[in-house]
Structure 1
Amino acid sequence: MNSLKEVYSNRWTAWWRRNSTALQVAASISCNVAYFAETGYTRTATMLSIVSLGGATLYYISKRRLKIKPQDLIVITGCNSGLGYSLAMHCRAKGATVLAGVRETGVISSTNAAIKSLRDEGIIVQDLDITNEDSVCKFGKRVKETMEERQLMLRALVNNAGVMVFGEFEWQTQAHANFQINVNVLGTMRITKELMPIIRQNGGRIIVMSSHCSAEPLPGVSIYSATKAAIDAWITALRIEVGKYGVNVVSFIPGGFVTQSNIMRNQRLYFDEMEQHMSDEVKQFYGNYFTRYAKYLSQASLPSNNEDDVKVLTNPRIYETFDGALLDVYPSATYRSTPTWIRDRLVPRFVGTPSWQINKQ
């Protein structure tokens, strides 16, 4: 928890980031009011003051946030590492009761370390495979039992579980496409539908992890980008469908943190599978481009020196933005922890894949 405490260390910085724009606007309006009053335009100054006061009041009403209580249950999927693990720790540190969905299949030391660390903080851990109907049903029963036993209210379902396979579209197998669609799209829908009756009854909130890739697809993750675009379309329609029942649906775009999660742990295996399924014509066409591409990106999937060392994300903007998605009384449709930039020229440098060279026979 040391790194999480460091995130909270500078409250002033977080407060400034949240209110800097409003303070700058207020300062500008104050200067204008003073100018009009000084030059004799008292009526203009008075009207500007009234409008400004009304606008400021509406702004702060819209930015009101709920308070977290121990009776609030927050359910988070995909808590093995990275964002899910970090948000579970974050919500628990704020005083909520947290139920974390974790894939316990296989012997992965980092997963075991994450489970132990979560439980040490008082977080309830439950095995969850969102692609498996039986697993989702068992998870739903655990949520209901926990709420009844502890007299809890479901504050939010945080759909964080997701997978990504890196590689150009022609290389990825049908199994890779099915895997990403089943987890990122169908799995997210499956767990949400399972918990929807409870969410409706409690007036809970649905938070879905989206990605910049949904609107700005990156080369090498075309299928992953397609799944995120699909989930964004679903979120948009769902927001209207369940809004009339008092349920808020929020899209959260956390930004890049690939190196701090397990999302690329199996990338080397994926490249091996791609190569095995390539035809001779495809292998000949791509030549050493595929080899260089796979070697470069496989570095991201190499285990750390200490696989048991599971850490929380250290970017404070992620937590500050997530708090808005979770606690704003009047939530926005989308929350982004990083600003949106014009990316056409920056994407190749951002992705950093090897350059393409035409094979010369």
Structure 2
Amino acid sequence: MIVVILSVLLGVCFYVYKSRRSNLRRIHGEGQGIFITGCDTGFGYDLAKRLDGLGFRVFAGCLNSNGKEAGELARSCSKLLSVVQLDVTKEDQITSAKAYVETVHRNIGCGLWALVNNAGIDCYGDIEFSPTEFYRRVADVNLFGMVHVTKTFLPMIRKSKGRVINNTSVKGRLSLPRISVYGITKYGGENFSDCLRLEMRKFGVKVVIVEPGNFGGVTGILSGSNLNRLKDDKETMWNRADPEVKQVYGRKYLESQFSELERAADTSCRTTTPVIDAFEDAVTLENPRTRYLVHGGRGLFDKCCVYATLNSYLPTAWMDFLGARYKLELTFDYCQNCSDCQQLRAVPMVPKAQSKDTCVSDGGFGYDLAKRLDGLGFRVFAGCLNSNGKEAGELARSCSNLLHVVQLDVTKEDQITAAKDYVETVHRNTGCGLWALVNNAGIDCFGDIEFCPMEFYRRVADVNLFGMVHVTKTFLPMIRKSKGRVINNTSVKGRLSLPRISVYGITKYEGENFSDCLRLEMRKFGVKVVIVEHAKTSITFIHPNAHMFYSQLKRLQDDKETMWKKADPEVKQVYGQKYLESQFSGLERAADTSYRTTTPVIDAFEDAVTLENPRTRYLVDGGRGLFDKYCVGFFLSFLHRLY
């Protein structure tokens, strides 16, 4: 209790101190350059006009620079504003936009004071209805587009000691049902922004996050052509849904969920002014706040913003209850007659005749978990990246005949489908059912944002995020039938941002959001979703097969060489190769400070699989000291939400 009181007092003092610091004088535009993405409509359009009126030289990136909105923007502003063609998913357009800004800088000397990442698209729908391509499409704009544009313009921001301002959303801090496609990108954007701020601090660059609440109606997200696109998505979802999913949910359920969108537009704030004010503060204040959570809506308060604030302090179970009250009222109205959709009931203890599916990355947690569950009498389907490899052979020999080694690369759709077919065949022959799915497959990456190529972000996301989503969607019908559970292996780095781990960290933040959304959507079916958050990542390398550690370390060292070869010459000059070498030299030392056993993590997985009512989250301390500094860092991280 004393610790809690002291933490609250410290947080209040910290908030007051920072608030006073943020009220210092403002900088003046005086022709300084501001690049804004997504200026065709909404926040970007209004922000470009506001900053142009303040005397900034605005580069307004528009998806269609020849469109009606871009033309209106140019006519309503001064000659200091330039409309720039920019689709943030197109590398050539990003490069051309940078070249244009550099040309203006050489001719006029305006520099680039701020970059505002505002471009984004929305998507809405249950996880079981949303195709994997929807996840990739939204991530290409909201996340990878933000990363790519930031990396491209960051050298210019460093030179001016300016700032990067990222428009995420209140949904980057709050998980709700039916927004996982959109929400995971905003969770990833929060982590990317935090990592960037920590890395840029030494250069005097500030990174600010603006988190708008309910402004969907006024920005056009929930009206006009964008609303029509969301409705087109609804038709695509229904046409491509699995027949079993259609039977369980029904067309009426899908229609009812999308009918909420128009009502949401009617309850949103009628003006973008509060958000534009926050952006102006982020651009012009000498010491802006780190985060601006902007309440929308038309009532006394914005429910989502209130819940997002509470989410930093309340237990997950409480937030699940609030989320259910806010979003799930219609679910029971249109699913209550389905045999798979009854009120919540206690799930019985797992009988040993049940089966367990785990994705194993040929070593580490998956390997040891498969052995543990096989020893408990489960029929284990051990997905291995190389089912003919040495580790897979050792696993099969060390376990009973109930263990099945299955070939599974979670980035390959055909292998995921083949794995499901195999499990279904075993089910038909033995009647074992599928009690649990454990998403454990994952890869790591380490390095500063300015050194990590975009291909690294996509490579890690393909495994850690899209692999998890695809495997979950594939096996979810079987889990629903058994009223079983989905267990996702994320990391403490899915709740704590640190420098040089953005490539890995954003996928873990996204995994946390996906798991939370899935839990809220699946509770009506009696399915539990559990998250296991291990601390020291090097624990996955410490394995009885010692060469596993060295193969992983060699891959990271190879990544280092790729980073240096592909780095921009200006980045090489600023950082130097010695800096890069020094960051990677700590990897082997990190392994020496981690646990020499995976037992604490495997114990958490066992509880998640076998307990009648497991915890929602298992935060597993690592390290060999009195405490794991990463886990302690997470518990203290709530303070940054105050500022």
Q: TM-score normalized by structure 2? A: 0.42
Structure 2 match to 1:67: 27
Code of the aligned partner of 2:92: D
Residue 68 of structure 1 aligns with an amino acid whose one-letter code is H
Compared with structure 1, are the counterparts of its residues 209 and 61 closer, same or farther at alpha carbon in structure 2 (3 Å cutoff)?
closer
Counterpart pick for 1:215 among 152, 173, 177: 173
The answer to whether 1:332 aligns with 2:289 is yes
- For 1:135, the aligned partner's letter is Q
Partner residue in 2 for 1:89: 49
CA distance in 2, matches of 1:261, 1:115: 15
CA distance in 2, matches of 1:153, 1:223: 36
Structure 2 CA distance for partners of 1:261 and 1:314, relative to 1, 3 Å:
closer
1:58 and 1:233 map into 2 onto residues whose CA distance is 21
Kindly state the Cα deviation for residue 180 of structure 1 after the two structures are TM-superposed.
Answer: 1.2
1:17 aligns with none
**Cα deviation digits, residues 184-219 of structure 1 (max 9, x gap):** 111100001111111111112100011111221122
In the alignment, which residue of structure 1 is the partner of 2:195? 237
Is contact 2:18–2:289 with CA below 8 Å preserved after alignment? Answer: no
- Segments of structure 2 that go 5 or more residues without pairing to the other structure are 1-15, 296-301, 309-318, 340-643
Q: 1:116 pairs with 71, 83, 89, which one? A: 71
Contact 2:38/2:44, CA 8 A, preserved across alignment: yes
Is residue 2:40 matched to residue 1:80?
yes
Distance in 2 (alpha carbons) for counterparts of 1:226 and 1:207: 19
SS of residue in 2 equivalent to 1:98: strand
Q: Which one of 306, 319, 335 corresponds to residue 341 of structure 1?
A: 306
Displacement of 1:263 in angstroms is 3.1
- Which position in structure 1 is the counterpart of 2:149? 191
**Partner of 2:176: helix, strand, or coil?**
coil
Mapped to 2, the partners of 1:116 and 1:95 lie a distance apart of: 20
Amino acid at match of 1:275: W
Native 8 Å contact 2:86 2:93 kept in 1 = yes
1:278-326 deviation per Cα after TM superposition (whole angstroms, max 9, x unaligned) = 121111111121132234437889xxxxxxxxxx972432233222211
- Contact kept? 1:206, 1:250, Cα under 8 Å: yes
- Which among 246, 270, 282 is matched to residue 283 of structure 1? 246
Count of residues paired in the alignment: 292
Q: Distance in 2 between the 1:179 and 1:263 partners?
A: 16
One-letter amino acid of the structure 2 residue matched with residue 319 of structure 1: I
Counterpart AA for 1:99: F
Which residue is 1:323 aligned to? 280
3-state DSSP class of the match of 2:67? Answer: helix
Runs of 4+ that moved beyond 6 A: 56-59, 298-301
Secondary structure of 2:306's partner?
A: coil
Structure 1 residues 360 and 219, CA, compared in 2 at 3 Å: closer, same or farther? closer
| Larger RCO: 1 or 2 (CA < 8 Å, sep 6+) | 1
Looking at structure 2, the residues matched to 135 and 161 of structure 1 have their Cα atoms a distance apart, in angstroms, of 14
Cα 1:173–1:360 shift into 2, 3 Å: closer
Instruction: Give unpaired runs (5+ residues) of structure 1.
Output: 1-55, 106-110, 302-311
Deviations 1:59-84 (A, max 9, x none): 75541132322321111001111111
Look up the SS of the partner of 1:341 in the other structure. helix
Deviation at residue 58 of structure 1 after TM alignment: 9.2
Which residue of structure 1 lines up, in the alignment, with residue 261 of structure 2?
Answer: 297
1:239/1:354 CA distance change after superposition, 3 Å:
same
| Overall identity of the aligned pairs, in % | 28
For the pair 1:260 / 2:218, whether they are aligned, the reply is yes
Q: Tell me the residue number matched to 2:336.
A: 358
TM-score (norm 1): 0.73
Offset of residue 95 of structure 1: 1.7
Alignment partner for residue 141 of structure 1, among 76, 99, 119? 99
Instruction: From the superposition, tell whether residues 342 and 260 of structure 1 become closer, same or farther in structure 2 (CA, over 3 Å).
Output: closer
Does the 8 Å contact 2:43/2:276 carry over to 1?
Answer: no
Find the aligned partners of 2:18 and 2:210 in 1 and give their Cα distance.
Answer: 24
In structure 2, the CA distance between the partners of 1:62 and 1:201, relative to structure 1 (3 Å rule), is same
Structure 1 distance, partners of 2:17, 2:137, is 48
Question: Alignment partner of 2:116: what SS?
Answer: strand
Q: Which residue of 1 aligns with 2:271?
A: 314
Question: 2: CA distance between counterparts of 1:241 and 1:296?
Answer: 41
Give distance in 1, aligned partners of 2:154 and 2:122: 26
- The answer (yes or no) to whether the contact 1:286–1:359 under 8 Å persists in 2 is no
Summarize the Cα distance change of 1:173–1:245 in structure 2 as closer, same or farther, 3 Å threshold. same
Residues in 2 aligned to 1:150 and 1:321: alpha-carbon distance in whole angstroms: 29
Which residue of structure 2 lines up, in the alignment, with residue 306 of structure 1?
none
Contact 1:167 1:221 in 2 (8 A): yes
Question: How far did 1:134 drift?
Answer: 0.8
| Structure 2 residue aligned with 1:180 | 138
The answer for the alignment partner of 1:29 in structure 2 is none
1:240 Cα offset (Å): 1.1
Aligned 8 A contact 2:124 2:179 in 1: yes
Equivalent residues of 2:219, 2:272 under 8 A apart: no
> Given residue 290 of structure 2, which amino acid in structure 1 is its aligned partner?
A
1:226 matched residue in structure 2: 184
Q: CA deviation at 1:348?
A: 5.8
Q: Distance in 2 between matches of 1:134 and 1:168?
A: 34
